Structure 1
Amino acid sequence: MTGGFVLGERHRNQVATTPGDTTTTPQSSESSWAADPKSCPSEAIDFAIKEKLPSDLKQIFKVVTVNGTTVWICEDGAGSLYYQSKTGGVDAPLVQGENGLFLTRVVRDGDNAYEATAANGNTFMVNTRRLEVRFADGRTPQINTVETVE
């Protein structure tokens, strides 16, 4: 279900990319520019270059849900935030337009919490506990529990 949704989202947003709860506690980490920050996935950087966006993207937050969806929050040198996700499991390759979704309208919503909005109004909220997708058309939100945090 998530894979189909992401594919549809990616298709709708390809041109318009402008600016469950659980008692299990996932592993945590800090999300800030460290002395040696990690780069975001190369697929996200390649997409940013293609879309004429900043390409100096550093990973400031990463989660993997129990169903294998991976979400990265990236930050460019000017402090703008970007959302990159992929479905299909941790070992699946990230392919923009197939199982990958890249969004530019991202805001920090507290400590280790981010909200990204797609052009169609769907909202993706991610934090150290869960990934929640709220649909603009009023469908029931989709919630995935976070398994690991980087």
Structure 2
Amino acid sequence: MVIATVFLTIIGMTAGFVLGERHRDRLRAADPQDTTDIVTPYPADSSYASGPSGALCPDETIAFAAANGYPADLRQIFKAVTNNDTNVWICEDSNGQLYYQSQTKASSGVFDQTANALFLPRANRQGDNEYSAVASDGAKFLINSKQLRITFPDGRKPQVNSVESWE
């Protein structure tokens, strides 16, 4: 357990460092003559169009993405909380790729990709505020502002949970 904690801490620190360096490089590229005063080159009104502008996705998501070869510049499109204590985030990287992240038993405070969390690359926009993703076992996840619907590949009855909050 201690080793896992240390490992995740190192991954998080590395992801933070890489993001910081990338940000600093963008700032230098915006004004190559003067690097003493670093100011953000994009307006504060979120009109920066080359990437998502929402809040960062959870640290655990960013660390997992970085450790598995995905971009670590993940921004939250939304967060949904369901009636069965599940959190769902749809995240977007600077290239416009969407990612699905969920966490069951969220109130427990545990966020473990091998136990109660699921990261799925290649999520898809289905319409206004509706997104889908497919797990490697074929389970299909559909999230919108009203519900989370999980369809299982073995034909079991789909799991449907209502969304209680949408941020």
Q: Same fold (TM over 0.5)?
A: yes
Structure 1 residue identity aligned to 2:79: K
Q: What is the distance in 2 between the residues matched to 1:146 and 1:92? A: 19
Q: What is the distance in 1 between the residues matched to 2:122 and 2:97? A: 9
Q: 1:47 aligns with which of 57, 64, 68?
A: 64
Offset of residue 90 of structure 1 = 3.7
Offset of residue 127 of structure 1 = 0.2
Q: What is the distance in 1 between the residues matched to 2:81 and 2:109? A: 12
Offset of residue 92 of structure 1 = 2.0
Q: What is the distance in 2 between the residues matched to 1:48 and 1:65? A: 24
Structure 2 residue identity aligned to 1:123: K
Q: What is the distance in 1 between the residues matched to 2:106 and 2:56? A: 20
Q: What is the distance in 1 between the residues matched to 2:129 and 2:109? A: 25
Task: Select the structure of larger CA radius of gyration.
Answer: 2
Structure 1 residue identity aligned to 2:76: Q
Q: Secondary structure at the match of 2:127?
A: coil
After TM superposition, the score normalised by the length of structure 2 is 0.67
Matched residue, 1:139: 156
Structure 1 residue identity aligned to 2:80: V
Q: What is the distance in 2 between the residues matched to 1:92 and 1:146? A: 19
* 1:128 aligned onto 2:150: no
Unaligned stretches of 5+ residues in structure 1: 1-33
Offset of residue 91 of structure 1 = 5.3
Offset of residue 105 of structure 1 = 2.6
Q: Secondary structure at the match of 1:147?
A: strand
Unaligned stretches of 5+ residues in structure 2: 1-44, 47-52
Matched residue, 2:123: 106
After TM superposition, the score normalised by the length of structure 1 is 0.75
Q: 2:113 aligns with which of 88, 96, 101?
A: 96
Q: What is the distance in 1 between the residues matched to 2:130 and 2:107? A: 21
> How many aligned positions are there?
117
Q: Following TM superposition, where does structure 1 have runs of at least 4 consecutive aligned residues deviating by more than 6 angstroms? A: none
Cα RMSD for the two superposed structures: 1.3
Map 1:1-150 to 2 at 5 A.
Answer: 35=46, 37-90=54-107, 92-150=109-167
Offset of residue 70 of structure 1 = 0.2
Percent identity among equivalent residues?
A: 49
Deviations 1:25-75 (A, max 9, x none): xxxxxxxxx825200000000000110111100000110001110000000
Q: What is the distance in 1 between the residues matched to 2:62 and 2:124? A: 19
